[in-house]
Amino acid sequence: MNKQDIFMVGVGGQGIVLASDILGQVALTAGYDVKKTDTLGMAQRGGSVVSHVRIAQQVHAPLIQEGEADMLVAFEKLEAARWGYFLKPGGLAIVNNHAMPPLSVSLGVACYPSDEEVKDILKRCTDKICFINGTSQAKGLGDIRTINMLMLGCISSFLPIDIKIWQECITRGLPQKILKVNLAAFDLGRKDMVDVHLG
């Protein structure tokens, strides 16, 4: 596998740090070098959460530079628009089609962007944009918190790492009582990518 810089974004409470931790474990278990770092901006109040995960034969630094991410994985639409400039030209954007308006929008100080506006921002970097209805799928499983494993399932479709390693790392990283529903969410994320034909 070539170098993969994966930039994961969302808001507090979506389980992004756990997802990026498991992604790192998956890559390590598969024999790659991994560096990662997280930034939590008032995450408990719905602020931005950003995880940088860098995977390669050898990685020297944890931070992904602007314009160099191979993959932008956004758990929330506005965060995709905010951080789209981290994508390299022709990189892949996977966006959960879910809105969690910040306080500025709720107060009427700012406007939440439309789907087309989000796409237009991302298209400045790439045509490889995939919107998924991840949150509604997670609700359908009975636990909206499984969105992080669903997004991991999406990521897994684009990395040449054996499915058993993903399943093993998820099993090690989660309590037994919630394992079944989270593995189901992971499988849903993989299925979401089956029919995606990107450029």
Segment 68-74 mean pLDDT:
98
Tell me if 199 is assigned to some domain: no
- The rounded distance, in Å, linking the Cα atoms of 36 and 186 is 21
- Cα radius of gyration rounded to whole Å, the chain: 16
User: Helix, strand, coil proportions of the chain in percent (round to 5)?
Assistant: 45, 25, 30
Q: What pLDDT, on a 0 to 100 scale, did the predictor assign at position 196?
A: 66
What's the number of domains the chain is made of?
1
In tens, the pLDDT along 25-69 reads: 999 999 999 999 998 866 455 678 999 999 999 999 999 999 999
Residue 146 belongs to domain with CATH number: 3.40.920.10
Report pLDDT for 111.
Answer: 83
Give residue 133's pLDDT.
95
Please report which helix (H) or strand (E) contains residue 41, including its range: none
pLDDT of 199 higher than 60: no
**Structural domain span for residue 23:** 4-194
Q: In the block, which residue shows the tokens 């997802």?
A: 19
> What is the bridge-based pairing of β-strands 4-11 and 69-74?
parallel
In angstroms, how far apart are the furthest CA atoms of the chain?
49
